[in-house]
């Protein structure tokens, strides 16, 4: 169909008028309310010495588990939508020490990221690493907060001293509305754990005779029959996937093992934990502006270059 010269001129004039109307809409069309899902989370980072083992890959570099944990947490924080609240805690000994209760992520991002950067093994207040108890503690403290956040527990699952096969700690209270996920960190191979003195100075590696290889009960009973049957490898550390999974099953948590992208944890969280609807005002201007721009491109497109 070929339009006459006259009608082509009129048509393009009308098209241009539409463009003007679209630009006006970009300027004055009211923003509309939209809901996004936001979460309240308490990130607990394992800062025990097994986290100093350098067996994780971060952008092609071998880094320590704690370095990875901090970097990963930071990436997740950056991707959480504004309105989400995040708190930070560090786990050493048998407890999760809450450093900051949940704060709104966008407004307090600066403080959160600075605080996150300061978390490491040098702030540990004791040398043991009782993961199970620390998880229970984190849940208990989350329940005290209002609204209670869900827990993101980043750990390699290394228990020191080791647990008895049956006499391990169990969570006996009600979970309430607290749910959460474990983020497993660390490689599969058993590797030596760098030893730091209590004042933080590096002092070789943990040796076989420095650590307990049996649970407390077994060593108290000095039960000869089971003695020596357990492998003496507690001075070495790998990611204890099985133990983390066991804890997760007990607490009805999800497990994410060595994720590479921040979105992995975000997606798991969105399905697992409670979300709140946050109303944000949505701006339609980019849509109107895009349509206006497309119309203009069509209007001025030099078709003659493509004809014959």
Nearer to other proteins, 10 or 61 (CB): 10
Q: Alpha-carbon distance 159 to 46, whole Å?
A: 11
Q: Which of 16, 58, 167, 216 binds other proteins (CB under 8 A)?
A: 16
By the rule CB under 8 A, 1 interacts with other proteins = no
By the rule CB under 8 A, 293 interacts with other proteins = yes
> Pick from 301, 299, 303, 302: which is nearest to 16 by CA?
299
Nearer to other proteins, 144 or 220 (CB): 144
> Is cis: bond before 161, omega within 30 of 0?
yes
**Residues of this chain, 117-146, that bind other proteins according to CB under 8 A:** 118, 122-123, 125, 137, 141, 144
Stretch that binds other proteins, among 115-123, 173-181, 262-270, 272-280 (CB under 8 A): 115-123
Region of 92 please: left (phi>0), alpha (psi -120 to 50) or beta.
Answer: beta
Place of tokens 């990963």: 72
> Pick from 253, 241, 242, 268: which is nearest to 139 by CA?
253
Nearer to other proteins, 193 or 292 (CB): 292
Nearer to other proteins, 252 or 290 (CB): 290
> Is cis: bond before 147, omega within 30 of 0?
yes
By the rule CB under 8 A, 98 interacts with other proteins = yes
By the rule CB under 8 A, 61 interacts with other proteins = no
Q: Which of 24, 165, 216, 279 binds other proteins (CB under 8 A)?
A: 24
Q: Alpha-carbon distance 68 to 53, whole Å?
A: 11
| 3-state SS class at 106 | coil
* CA 196 vs CA 64, 162, 192, 204, 212: distances in Å: 14, 20, 13, 8, 17
Stretch that binds other proteins, among 9-17, 66-74, 187-195, 274-282 (CB under 8 A): 9-17
Residues near other proteins, by CB under 8 A:
5-6, 8-10, 12-13, 16-17, 19-20, 23-24, 26-27, 87, 89, 95, 97-104, 107-108, 110-112, 114-115, 118, 122-123, 125, 137, 141, 144, 198, 200, 285-286, 289-290, 292-293, 296-297, 300-305
């Amino acid at each position: 169909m070929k339009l006459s010269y006259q009608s082509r001129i009129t048509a393009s004039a009308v098209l241009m008028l539409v463009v003007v109307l679209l630009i006006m809409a970009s300027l004055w069309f009211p923003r509309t309310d939209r809901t996004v899902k936001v979460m309240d989370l308490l990130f607990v980072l394992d800062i025990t010495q097994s986290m100093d083992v350098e067996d994780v890959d971060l952008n092609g570099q071998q880094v320590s588990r704690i370095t990875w944990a901090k970097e990963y947490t930071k990436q997740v924080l950056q991707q959480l939508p504004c309105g989400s609240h995040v708190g930070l805690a560090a786990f050493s000994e048998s407890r999760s020490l809450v450093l900051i209760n949940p704060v709104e992520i966008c407004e307090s991002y600066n403080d959160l990221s600075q605080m996150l950067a300061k978390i490491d093994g040098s702030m540990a207040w004791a040398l043991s690493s009782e993961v199970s108890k620390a998880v229970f503690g984190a849940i208990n403290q989350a329940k005290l907060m209002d609204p209670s956040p869900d827990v993101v527990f980043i750990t390699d699952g290394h228990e020191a001293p080791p647990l008895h096969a049956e006499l391990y700690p169990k969570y006996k209270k009600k979970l309430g509305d607290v749910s959460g996920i474990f983020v497993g960190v660390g490689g599969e191979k058993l590797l030596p754990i760098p030893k730091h003195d209590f004042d933080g100075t590096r002092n070789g590696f943990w040796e076989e005779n420095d650590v307990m290889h049996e649970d407390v009960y077994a060593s108290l009973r000095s039960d000869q029959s089971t003695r020596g049957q357990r492998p003496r490898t507690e001075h070495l550390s790998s990611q204890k996937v099985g133990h983390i999974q066991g804890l997760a099953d007990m607490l009805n948590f999800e497990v994410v093992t060595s994720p590479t992208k921040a979105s992995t944890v975000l997606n798991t969280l969105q399905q697992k934990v409670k979300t709140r609807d946050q109303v944000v005002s949505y701006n339609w201007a980019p849509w109107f502006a895009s349509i206006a721009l497309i119309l203009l491109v069509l209007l001025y497109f030099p078709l003659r270059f493509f004809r014959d």
